[in-house]
Every structure is written in C-alpha cells, then in structure tokens.
Amino acid sequence: MKLFLVSTGCYSEYRICGIYTTEEKAIEAKVIFLADHIEEMESDSIPEHPPGMLRFDVEMNREGDVINVHRRSVEYSIDYDWMPHGDGVRVVFKTWAKDEKHAIKIANERRVALLATDQWTTDWDVWKKAYSGN
C-alpha cells in the first residue's frame, strides 16, 4: 500500500506532520501544516538485503588489528568491497555479516587474501589505478 508522509524541516528540525493513504489528503495536510514535503513510500517495505545480514564497515591495518567497526545503513554505498581509509595505515572492508564478530572474521579473511596476492595497499592513487581500470 502506498503511503504519503507530510514532513517539514530538515536534519534536527525534521518532523513528520502526518501519514496519509491518498495523495489528495497529503496535499491538503501539507497546506494546513505549512509543511515542506510530501514523501511517497510503500508500507511495510524493507530494503533488499541478504537474509539475516547487516551492513558493516571494518577498519583494519596490515597486521590485522581492528581499528574500528561501524554498523551502516543499507543506504550507505558499497561501491567497492574494500579501500584505503584515512591515515595511510589502514583499509576499510565493507561487508554484509550476521554481527560484528562475523564482520571482523570476513574482513580478516579478505585482508589475508589481499596480502597473499600482493594487492594490499593504503595508497589511494595505487588503489584507484588498480580498481578504476586506468
């Protein structure tokens, strides 16, 4: 079922004024609330994802030390499964996993494979050249 969210503001000022089942009601409510937006969405829609999996970014150095683990929204881009990150010492592995422990295991397996094939790099220029085809 299609729903129409009437909202106003942005960031910390964002608020939903009302949720409506028809666009006509949403338009009327937008006028009454002096709202900014009408957002259309499907009810009960869940973003596509591997069953039972969540998105994680795992920052790891060459030695396998975990610097940080971030849970990410499914809307957060996964253009590449890994890339150099920040300070020239670590990379970030992007993965779907059951939990944080599983994400670290997957990242470590990828780290080992990159080292074994001499593909590990924390240099952005080297990485871009290898993965952009230039």
At 114-123, the pLDDT tens digits run: 999 999 999 9
AA letter at 65 = D
Alpha helices by DSSP H, the chain: 23-33, 100-116, 124-132
Place of tokens 């869940």: 46
Tokens standing for residue 104: 């670290």
- Residue in 106, 72, 114 with CA at minimum distance from that of residue 90: 114
Its pTM surpasses 0.75: no
Contact assessment for residue 17 and residue 27, using Cβ atoms and an 8 Å cutoff: no
Domain ranges for the chain: 2-42, 54-132
Per-residue pLDDT tens digits for 56-113? 999 999 999 999 999 988 776 667 889 998 778 899 999 999 999 999 999 999 999 9
Tell me the chain's radius of gyration from C-alpha atoms: 21
Given a contact cutoff of 8 angstroms between Cβ atoms, the answer to whether 33 and 9 are in contact is no
